[in-house]
Structure 1
Amino acid sequence: MNRLEELKKQLKRGRVYRRYDLVKWSKSVDRHLDALVEEDTLQKLSQGLYYYPKLSAFGKTPPEEDVLIRSFLKDDRFLLTSASSYNSLGVGTQLYNERTVYNHKRHGEFKLGNRKFSFRMKPHFPSKVTKEFLLVDLVNNLETLAEDPTEVLKKIALKVRTMDTKKLKRYVSQYGNAKAKKILTPLLEFPAKQDVS
Protein backbone atom coordinates (compact mmCIF):
# COMPACT_ATOMS: atom_id res chain seq x y z
CA MET A 1 0.00 0.00 0.00
CA ASN A 2 1.44 3.41 -0.93
CA ARG A 3 1.62 6.42 1.38
CA LEU A 4 -1.38 8.13 -0.21
CA GLU A 5 -3.58 5.07 0.39
CA GLU A 6 -2.32 4.91 3.99
CA LEU A 7 -3.31 8.53 4.48
CA LYS A 8 -6.74 7.89 2.97
CA LYS A 9 -7.33 5.06 5.48
CA GLN A 10 -6.98 7.60 8.32
CA LEU A 11 -9.68 9.93 6.97
CA LYS A 12 -13.23 9.81 8.30
CA ARG A 13 -16.21 10.95 6.25
CA GLY A 14 -17.92 14.11 7.48
CA ARG A 15 -14.73 15.43 9.10
CA VAL A 16 -13.08 18.76 8.33
CA TYR A 17 -9.28 18.62 8.44
CA ARG A 18 -6.69 21.32 8.80
CA ARG A 19 -3.42 20.75 6.96
CA TYR A 20 -1.54 20.26 10.24
CA ASP A 21 -4.01 17.48 11.28
CA LEU A 22 -2.64 15.34 8.43
CA VAL A 23 1.08 15.94 8.99
CA LYS A 24 1.23 13.01 11.44
CA TRP A 25 0.19 10.61 8.64
CA SER A 26 2.17 12.05 5.74
CA LYS A 27 5.73 13.23 5.17
CA SER A 28 4.65 14.87 1.88
CA VAL A 29 1.43 16.43 3.12
CA ASP A 30 1.13 19.16 0.45
CA ARG A 31 1.67 16.73 -2.41
CA HIS A 32 -0.80 14.26 -0.89
CA LEU A 33 -3.40 16.99 -0.30
CA ASP A 34 -3.09 18.14 -3.92
CA ALA A 35 -3.57 14.53 -5.07
CA LEU A 36 -6.60 13.97 -2.79
CA VAL A 37 -8.25 17.19 -4.02
CA GLU A 38 -7.40 16.31 -7.64
CA GLU A 39 -9.05 12.89 -7.35
CA ASP A 40 -12.04 14.49 -5.52
CA THR A 41 -11.52 12.56 -2.27
CA LEU A 42 -11.11 15.81 -0.33
CA GLN A 43 -12.72 19.18 -1.03
CA LYS A 44 -10.69 22.31 -0.36
CA LEU A 45 -12.76 24.73 1.73
CA SER A 46 -10.19 27.49 2.23
CA GLN A 47 -6.43 27.86 2.69
CA GLY A 48 -5.31 24.84 4.75
CA LEU A 49 -8.88 23.56 5.38
CA TYR A 50 -10.27 20.39 3.74
CA TYR A 51 -13.44 18.30 3.94
CA TYR A 52 -13.93 14.56 3.45
CA PRO A 53 -17.58 14.46 2.29
CA LYS A 54 -20.21 12.12 3.60
CA LEU A 55 -22.18 10.36 0.88
CA SER A 56 -25.98 10.36 0.70
CA ALA A 57 -28.54 9.17 -1.85
CA PHE A 58 -28.25 12.65 -3.38
CA GLY A 59 -24.46 12.63 -3.62
CA LYS A 60 -21.83 14.33 -1.47
CA THR A 61 -23.09 16.34 1.49
CA PRO A 62 -21.55 19.63 2.62
CA PRO A 63 -19.90 19.78 6.06
CA GLU A 64 -22.12 20.53 9.06
CA GLU A 65 -21.72 24.19 9.96
CA ASP A 66 -20.65 23.62 13.55
CA VAL A 67 -17.99 21.06 12.45
CA LEU A 68 -16.73 23.51 9.82
CA ILE A 69 -16.55 26.48 12.23
CA ARG A 70 -14.95 24.41 15.02
CA SER A 71 -12.17 23.25 12.67
CA PHE A 72 -11.65 26.70 11.21
CA LEU A 73 -11.38 28.37 14.63
CA LYS A 74 -9.66 25.44 16.38
CA ASP A 75 -12.04 26.29 19.21
CA ASP A 76 -15.41 25.10 20.58
CA ARG A 77 -16.35 28.50 21.96
CA PHE A 78 -18.48 30.18 19.32
CA LEU A 79 -22.10 31.08 18.65
CA LEU A 80 -23.48 30.70 15.13
CA THR A 81 -26.45 32.88 14.27
CA SER A 82 -27.97 34.93 11.46
CA ALA A 83 -29.98 38.13 11.06
CA SER A 84 -32.69 35.85 9.59
CA SER A 85 -33.12 34.40 13.09
CA TYR A 86 -34.67 37.72 14.13
CA ASN A 87 -37.77 36.59 12.20
CA SER A 88 -38.57 34.17 15.00
CA LEU A 89 -39.22 37.20 17.25
CA GLY A 90 -42.10 38.32 15.01
CA VAL A 91 -40.88 41.91 14.70
CA GLY A 92 -40.99 42.02 10.90
CA THR A 93 -37.40 41.57 9.73
CA GLN A 94 -36.38 40.20 6.34
CA LEU A 95 -34.45 37.06 5.47
CA TYR A 96 -30.69 37.52 5.23
CA ASN A 97 -28.09 35.18 3.72
CA GLU A 98 -25.11 35.93 5.90
CA ARG A 99 -24.27 33.75 8.88
CA THR A 100 -22.62 35.42 11.88
CA VAL A 101 -20.12 33.65 14.11
CA TYR A 102 -19.46 35.25 17.50
CA ASN A 103 -16.12 33.98 18.76
CA HIS A 104 -12.91 34.88 20.64
CA LYS A 105 -10.34 34.41 17.84
CA ARG A 106 -11.26 35.69 14.37
CA HIS A 107 -12.76 38.86 12.92
CA GLY A 108 -13.77 39.46 9.31
CA GLU A 109 -15.58 37.93 6.35
CA PHE A 110 -14.49 34.41 5.39
CA LYS A 111 -15.65 32.09 2.62
CA LEU A 112 -15.48 28.46 3.67
CA GLY A 113 -16.39 26.19 0.78
CA ASN A 114 -19.47 27.75 -0.82
CA ARG A 115 -20.60 29.53 2.33
CA LYS A 116 -19.83 33.02 3.58
CA PHE A 117 -19.50 33.76 7.27
CA SER A 118 -19.05 37.00 9.16
CA PHE A 119 -16.75 36.28 12.11
CA ARG A 120 -17.06 38.79 14.96
CA MET A 121 -14.83 38.76 17.99
CA LYS A 122 -16.74 39.37 21.20
CA PRO A 123 -15.65 38.96 24.81
CA HIS A 124 -19.06 37.57 25.85
CA PHE A 125 -21.83 35.61 24.16
CA PRO A 126 -24.14 32.84 25.40
CA SER A 127 -23.55 29.17 24.63
CA LYS A 128 -26.80 28.97 22.65
CA VAL A 129 -29.19 31.30 20.84
CA THR A 130 -32.28 32.25 22.88
CA LYS A 131 -35.08 34.69 22.06
CA GLU A 132 -33.71 37.05 24.73
CA PHE A 133 -30.28 37.03 23.11
CA LEU A 134 -31.83 37.52 19.65
CA LEU A 135 -33.74 40.58 20.84
CA VAL A 136 -30.61 42.16 22.34
CA ASP A 137 -28.57 41.21 19.27
CA LEU A 138 -31.22 42.72 16.97
CA VAL A 139 -30.97 46.07 18.79
CA ASN A 140 -27.14 45.81 18.79
CA ASN A 141 -27.24 45.45 14.98
CA LEU A 142 -30.27 47.63 14.19
CA GLU A 143 -28.38 50.05 11.91
CA THR A 144 -27.08 47.20 9.71
CA LEU A 145 -30.57 45.96 8.78
CA ALA A 146 -32.56 47.00 5.71
CA GLU A 147 -35.72 47.70 7.74
CA ASP A 148 -36.81 51.10 9.06
CA PRO A 149 -35.35 51.18 12.61
CA THR A 150 -38.29 53.25 13.95
CA GLU A 151 -40.82 50.62 12.85
CA VAL A 152 -38.72 47.74 14.21
CA LEU A 153 -38.31 49.54 17.56
CA LYS A 154 -42.10 49.99 17.88
CA LYS A 155 -42.53 46.23 17.45
CA ILE A 156 -39.66 45.54 19.88
CA ALA A 157 -41.38 47.70 22.53
CA LEU A 158 -44.47 45.46 22.23
CA LYS A 159 -42.43 42.25 22.13
CA VAL A 160 -40.55 43.14 25.34
CA ARG A 161 -43.87 43.11 27.25
CA THR A 162 -44.43 39.44 26.37
CA MET A 163 -40.97 38.27 27.45
CA ASP A 164 -39.34 37.19 30.71
CA THR A 165 -38.30 40.61 32.07
CA LYS A 166 -35.78 39.27 34.57
CA LYS A 167 -33.99 37.14 31.97
CA LEU A 168 -34.08 39.92 29.38
CA LYS A 169 -32.56 42.42 31.86
CA ARG A 170 -29.72 39.98 32.47
CA TYR A 171 -29.12 39.57 28.71
CA VAL A 172 -29.20 43.34 28.13
CA SER A 173 -26.64 43.79 30.89
CA GLN A 174 -24.36 40.98 29.64
CA TYR A 175 -24.61 41.26 25.85
CA GLY A 176 -26.07 44.67 24.99
CA ASN A 177 -23.89 47.42 23.54
CA ALA A 178 -24.30 50.99 24.87
CA LYS A 179 -27.05 51.76 22.34
CA ALA A 180 -29.01 48.58 23.12
CA LYS A 181 -28.82 49.31 26.87
CA LYS A 182 -30.07 52.85 26.29
CA ILE A 183 -33.02 51.63 24.17
CA LEU A 184 -34.01 48.50 26.10
CA THR A 185 -33.50 49.49 29.74
CA PRO A 186 -36.42 51.99 29.82
CA LEU A 187 -38.66 49.45 28.02
CA LEU A 188 -37.87 46.88 30.70
CA GLU A 189 -38.96 49.17 33.54
CA PHE A 190 -42.56 49.24 32.32
CA PRO A 191 -43.22 45.47 32.06
CA ALA A 192 -41.53 44.98 35.44
CA LYS A 193 -44.46 46.82 37.04
CA GLN A 194 -46.88 44.62 35.12
CA ASP A 195 -45.41 41.31 36.33
CA VAL A 196 -47.95 39.33 38.31
CA SER A 197 -45.81 36.24 38.81
Structure 2
Amino acid sequence: MKVAEKIQRKINRMQEGITFKYQQLGIDQSEYSAATKTIERLIKKGMIKRVSTGVFYKPKQSAFGELRPREEELLKPYLFQDGKRIAYITGGSLYNRMGLTTQVPKTIKVASKVKRVTTKIGKTQVKPVKSYVDVSNENYYLLEILDALKDFKTIPDLDKKSAIALLKNEISKLSENDQTKIIRYALKYPPRATALLGAILELSNKKSGLDRLRAKLNPLTTYRLVIKKETLPTAPEWNIN
Protein backbone atom coordinates (compact mmCIF):
# COMPACT_ATOMS: atom_id res chain seq x y z
CA MET A 1 0.00 0.00 0.00
CA LYS A 2 1.28 3.47 -0.91
CA VAL A 3 2.17 5.90 1.88
CA ALA A 4 -0.54 8.36 0.78
CA GLU A 5 -3.22 5.66 0.92
CA LYS A 6 -2.01 4.44 4.30
CA ILE A 7 -2.15 7.94 5.78
CA GLN A 8 -5.52 8.70 4.21
CA ARG A 9 -7.06 5.55 5.70
CA LYS A 10 -5.55 6.29 9.09
CA ILE A 11 -6.90 9.85 9.11
CA ASN A 12 -10.34 8.73 7.89
CA ARG A 13 -10.61 6.54 11.00
CA MET A 14 -9.50 9.33 13.35
CA GLN A 15 -11.93 11.15 15.58
CA GLU A 16 -12.61 14.77 14.64
CA GLY A 17 -11.05 17.42 16.85
CA ILE A 18 -8.28 15.13 18.17
CA THR A 19 -4.67 16.16 17.61
CA PHE A 20 -2.06 13.79 16.19
CA LYS A 21 1.60 13.64 15.16
CA TYR A 22 3.47 11.74 12.47
CA GLN A 23 4.24 8.98 14.97
CA GLN A 24 0.53 8.14 15.17
CA LEU A 25 0.16 7.58 11.44
CA GLY A 26 1.66 4.08 11.49
CA ILE A 27 4.47 4.89 9.06
CA ASP A 28 8.12 3.87 9.00
CA GLN A 29 10.98 6.33 9.38
CA SER A 30 11.81 5.82 5.69
CA GLU A 31 8.30 6.98 4.73
CA TYR A 32 8.42 10.37 6.46
CA SER A 33 9.43 12.28 3.33
CA ALA A 34 6.45 10.96 1.37
CA ALA A 35 4.23 11.45 4.43
CA THR A 36 5.17 15.14 4.63
CA LYS A 37 4.01 15.70 1.05
CA THR A 38 0.76 13.81 1.70
CA ILE A 39 0.08 15.86 4.84
CA GLU A 40 0.64 19.11 2.93
CA ARG A 41 -1.83 18.01 0.25
CA LEU A 42 -4.45 17.14 2.89
CA ILE A 43 -3.95 20.52 4.57
CA LYS A 44 -4.51 22.31 1.23
CA LYS A 45 -7.72 20.31 0.73
CA GLY A 46 -8.88 21.32 4.23
CA MET A 47 -9.11 17.71 5.42
CA ILE A 48 -6.69 18.39 8.28
CA LYS A 49 -5.30 21.51 9.97
CA ARG A 50 -1.86 22.25 11.37
CA VAL A 51 -1.68 23.22 15.05
CA SER A 52 2.09 23.74 15.11
CA THR A 53 5.15 22.08 13.60
CA GLY A 54 4.44 18.35 13.32
CA VAL A 55 1.07 18.57 15.11
CA PHE A 56 -2.26 18.35 13.24
CA TYR A 57 -5.97 17.71 13.76
CA LYS A 58 -8.99 16.66 11.75
CA PRO A 59 -11.48 19.55 11.87
CA LYS A 60 -14.91 18.96 13.35
CA GLN A 61 -17.88 20.42 11.51
CA SER A 62 -21.08 21.68 13.13
CA ALA A 63 -24.21 23.54 12.06
CA PHE A 64 -22.32 26.75 12.88
CA GLY A 65 -19.23 25.83 10.87
CA GLU A 66 -15.86 24.39 11.79
CA LEU A 67 -15.14 23.86 15.50
CA ARG A 68 -11.63 24.40 16.80
CA PRO A 69 -10.41 21.78 19.30
CA ARG A 70 -10.26 22.71 22.97
CA GLU A 71 -7.08 24.33 24.30
CA GLU A 72 -6.25 21.18 26.24
CA GLU A 73 -6.51 19.08 23.07
CA LEU A 74 -4.43 21.49 20.97
CA LEU A 75 -1.69 21.36 23.60
CA LYS A 76 -2.01 17.63 24.28
CA PRO A 77 1.22 16.71 22.42
CA TYR A 78 3.11 19.02 24.79
CA LEU A 79 1.31 17.99 27.98
CA PHE A 80 2.13 14.30 27.58
CA GLN A 81 5.35 12.41 26.97
CA ASP A 82 5.34 8.71 26.09
CA GLY A 83 1.68 8.58 27.08
CA LYS A 84 2.30 10.09 30.53
CA ARG A 85 1.19 13.55 31.61
CA ILE A 86 4.14 15.83 32.40
CA ALA A 87 2.47 19.25 32.21
CA TYR A 88 -0.80 21.13 32.61
CA ILE A 89 -2.32 24.46 31.57
CA THR A 90 -2.18 27.12 34.26
CA GLY A 91 -2.44 30.91 34.59
CA GLY A 92 -5.23 32.97 33.04
CA SER A 93 -6.48 30.18 30.77
CA LEU A 94 -6.98 27.88 33.77
CA TYR A 95 -8.64 30.56 35.90
CA ASN A 96 -10.99 31.45 33.04
CA ARG A 97 -11.96 27.78 32.68
CA MET A 98 -12.47 27.50 36.44
CA GLY A 99 -14.84 30.48 36.34
CA LEU A 100 -12.56 32.70 38.45
CA THR A 101 -12.16 35.35 35.74
CA THR A 102 -13.94 36.36 32.56
CA GLN A 103 -10.75 37.61 30.95
CA VAL A 104 -9.13 35.55 28.19
CA PRO A 105 -5.33 35.84 28.27
CA LYS A 106 -3.19 36.59 25.23
CA THR A 107 -0.73 33.89 26.26
CA ILE A 108 -1.20 30.36 27.60
CA LYS A 109 1.02 29.19 30.46
CA VAL A 110 2.01 25.53 30.67
CA ALA A 111 3.52 24.23 33.92
CA SER A 112 5.96 21.32 34.02
CA LYS A 113 8.84 20.19 36.21
CA VAL A 114 10.71 18.35 33.45
CA LYS A 115 10.03 20.28 30.23
CA ARG A 116 9.89 23.88 29.01
CA VAL A 117 6.91 24.14 26.68
CA THR A 118 7.34 27.05 24.25
CA THR A 119 5.23 27.07 21.10
CA LYS A 120 2.49 28.96 19.28
CA ILE A 121 -1.13 27.87 18.79
CA GLY A 122 -2.49 30.01 15.98
CA LYS A 123 -1.82 33.57 17.17
CA THR A 124 -1.61 32.54 20.82
CA GLN A 125 1.84 32.27 22.40
CA VAL A 126 2.47 29.38 24.80
CA LYS A 127 4.95 30.07 27.59
CA PRO A 128 6.57 27.72 30.12
CA VAL A 129 6.17 27.87 33.90
CA LYS A 130 8.07 25.72 36.38
CA SER A 131 5.72 23.51 38.40
CA TYR A 132 6.35 23.06 42.10
CA VAL A 133 6.10 19.26 41.98
CA ASP A 134 6.28 16.55 39.33
CA VAL A 135 3.09 16.53 37.27
CA SER A 136 1.01 13.41 36.62
CA ASN A 137 -2.51 12.51 35.56
CA GLU A 138 -3.21 11.67 39.21
CA ASN A 139 -2.30 15.10 40.62
CA TYR A 140 -2.57 17.87 38.00
CA TYR A 141 -6.13 18.80 39.07
CA LEU A 142 -4.85 19.35 42.62
CA LEU A 143 -2.03 21.53 41.32
CA GLU A 144 -4.62 23.59 39.42
CA ILE A 145 -6.38 24.36 42.71
CA LEU A 146 -3.09 25.25 44.40
CA ASP A 147 -2.13 27.55 41.52
CA ALA A 148 -5.45 29.39 41.91
CA LEU A 149 -4.77 29.79 45.65
CA LYS A 150 -1.22 30.99 44.95
CA ASP A 151 -2.36 33.58 42.40
CA PHE A 152 -5.60 34.52 44.21
CA LYS A 153 -4.60 38.15 44.76
CA THR A 154 -3.47 38.73 41.16
CA ILE A 155 -6.23 36.97 39.18
CA PRO A 156 -7.80 39.75 37.09
CA ASP A 157 -11.48 40.62 37.38
CA LEU A 158 -11.84 38.35 40.44
CA ASP A 159 -14.99 38.39 42.57
CA LYS A 160 -13.43 37.22 45.83
CA LYS A 161 -16.66 36.13 47.48
CA SER A 162 -17.64 33.97 44.47
CA ALA A 163 -14.07 32.72 44.11
CA ILE A 164 -13.87 31.55 47.73
CA ALA A 165 -17.23 29.80 47.35
CA LEU A 166 -16.08 28.11 44.14
CA LEU A 167 -12.74 26.98 45.58
CA LYS A 168 -14.42 25.82 48.79
CA ASN A 169 -16.80 23.72 46.70
CA GLU A 170 -13.90 22.13 44.80
CA ILE A 171 -11.84 21.49 47.92
CA SER A 172 -14.79 20.11 49.92
CA LYS A 173 -15.27 17.44 47.23
CA LEU A 174 -11.74 16.08 47.66
CA SER A 175 -11.43 12.52 48.88
CA GLU A 176 -9.40 11.81 52.00
CA ASN A 177 -6.54 10.60 49.79
CA ASP A 178 -6.67 13.74 47.63
CA GLN A 179 -6.74 15.92 50.74
CA THR A 180 -3.58 14.23 52.01
CA LYS A 181 -1.92 14.80 48.63
CA ILE A 182 -2.94 18.45 48.24
CA ILE A 183 -1.60 19.21 51.72
CA ARG A 184 1.69 17.51 50.84
CA TYR A 185 1.97 19.51 47.61
CA ALA A 186 0.98 22.76 49.35
CA LEU A 187 4.11 22.50 51.49
CA LYS A 188 6.09 23.10 48.27
CA TYR A 189 4.08 26.22 47.38
CA PRO A 190 4.52 29.80 48.64
CA PRO A 191 3.16 30.31 52.19
CA ARG A 192 0.20 32.44 50.98
CA ALA A 193 -1.17 29.40 49.10
CA THR A 194 -0.56 27.19 52.14
CA ALA A 195 -2.42 29.60 54.43
CA LEU A 196 -5.37 30.00 52.05
CA LEU A 197 -5.67 26.24 51.61
CA GLY A 198 -5.64 25.78 55.38
CA ALA A 199 -8.36 28.39 55.88
CA ILE A 200 -10.62 26.86 53.22
CA LEU A 201 -10.05 23.30 54.47
CA GLU A 202 -10.94 24.40 57.99
CA LEU A 203 -14.03 26.21 56.71
CA SER A 204 -15.00 22.95 54.95
CA ASN A 205 -14.55 21.01 58.23
CA LYS A 206 -11.70 19.05 56.65
CA LYS A 207 -9.29 19.38 59.55
CA SER A 208 -7.11 16.33 59.01
CA GLY A 209 -3.52 17.38 58.28
CA LEU A 210 -3.99 21.08 59.06
CA ASP A 211 -1.21 20.90 61.66
CA ARG A 212 1.26 20.18 58.82
CA LEU A 213 0.20 23.36 57.04
CA ARG A 214 0.40 25.44 60.23
CA ALA A 215 3.87 24.10 60.97
CA LYS A 216 5.14 25.50 57.68
CA LEU A 217 3.83 29.01 58.29
CA ASN A 218 5.61 31.75 60.21
CA PRO A 219 3.15 32.80 62.96
CA LEU A 220 4.43 36.40 62.68
CA THR A 221 3.73 36.70 58.96
CA THR A 222 0.49 38.23 57.67
CA TYR A 223 -0.84 37.32 54.21
CA ARG A 224 -2.48 40.37 52.69
CA LEU A 225 -5.01 38.86 50.28
CA VAL A 226 -7.68 41.50 51.03
CA ILE A 227 -10.32 38.93 51.97
CA LYS A 228 -13.09 40.05 54.35
CA LYS A 229 -13.84 37.93 57.41
CA GLU A 230 -17.46 37.46 56.27
CA THR A 231 -16.15 36.02 52.99
CA LEU A 232 -13.74 33.64 54.72
CA PRO A 233 -14.51 33.38 58.48
CA THR A 234 -11.41 31.25 59.16
CA ALA A 235 -9.05 33.79 57.52
CA PRO A 236 -7.84 35.46 60.78
CA GLU A 237 -6.80 32.10 62.23
CA TRP A 238 -4.41 31.75 59.26
CA ASN A 239 -3.14 35.36 59.42
CA ILE A 240 -5.00 36.23 56.22
CA ASN A 241 -6.47 39.71 55.87
* Partner AA of 1:30 in structure 2: T
Scaled by the length of structure 1, what TM-score is found? Answer: 0.63
| 1:40 aligns to 2:46 (yes or no) | yes
Report the 3-state secondary structure (helix = DSSP H, G, I; strand = E; otherwise coil) of the residue aligned with 2:102.
coil
Q: Which range moves more in the overlay, 136-145 or 169-178?
A: 169-178
Select the residue among 45, 52, 55 that pairs with 1:49. Answer: 55
Judge conservation of contact 2:78–2:117 (CA < 8 Å) in 1. no
State the distance in 1 between where 2:63 and 2:205 align: 56
State the distance in 1 between where 2:150 and 2:129 align: 13
* Partner AA of 2:75 in structure 1: I
Judge conservation of contact 1:13–1:53 (CA < 8 Å) in 2. no
Where does structure 2 lack aligned partners over 5 or more consecutive residues? 208-241
**1:6-45 CA distance string (max 9 Å, x none):** 4211212423221343443654222222222122222111
Return closer, same or farther for 1:185/1:50 CA change in 2, 3 Å cut-off: closer
Higher relative contact order (CA 8 A, sep 6+): 1
In structure 1, the partner of 2:182 is 171
Return closer, same or farther for 1:42/1:146 CA change in 2, 3 Å cut-off: same
In structure 1, the partner of 2:156 is 146
- Report sequence identity in percent: 15
What pairs with 1:56-135 in structure 2 (closer than 5 Å)?
A: 56-75=62-81, 76-77=84-85, 78-80=87-89, 82-87=94-99, 93-98=100-105, 100-108=109-117, 110-113=119-122, 117=126, 119-122=128-131, 123-124=133-134, 127=139, 129=141
| 1:31 aligns to 2:37 (yes or no) | yes
State the distance in 2 between where 1:182 and 1:34 align: 50
State the distance in 2 between where 1:194 and 1:7 align: 53
Q: CA deviation at 1:4?
A: 2.5
Where does structure 1 lack aligned partners over 5 or more consecutive residues? 88-92
State the distance in 2 between where 1:96 and 1:68 align: 20
Judge conservation of contact 1:54–1:60 (CA < 8 Å) in 2. yes
Judge conservation of contact 1:79–1:127 (CA < 8 Å) in 2. no
Return closer, same or farther for 1:70/1:179 CA change in 2, 3 Å cut-off: same
Scaled by the length of structure 2, what TM-score is found? Answer: 0.54
State the distance in 2 between where 1:42 and 1:193 align: 51
Q: CA deviation at 1:74?
A: 3.9
State the distance in 1 between where 2:197 and 2:204 align: 11
Q: CA deviation at 1:119?
A: 4.7
Q: CA deviation at 1:96?
A: 2.9
Count of aligned pairs: 184
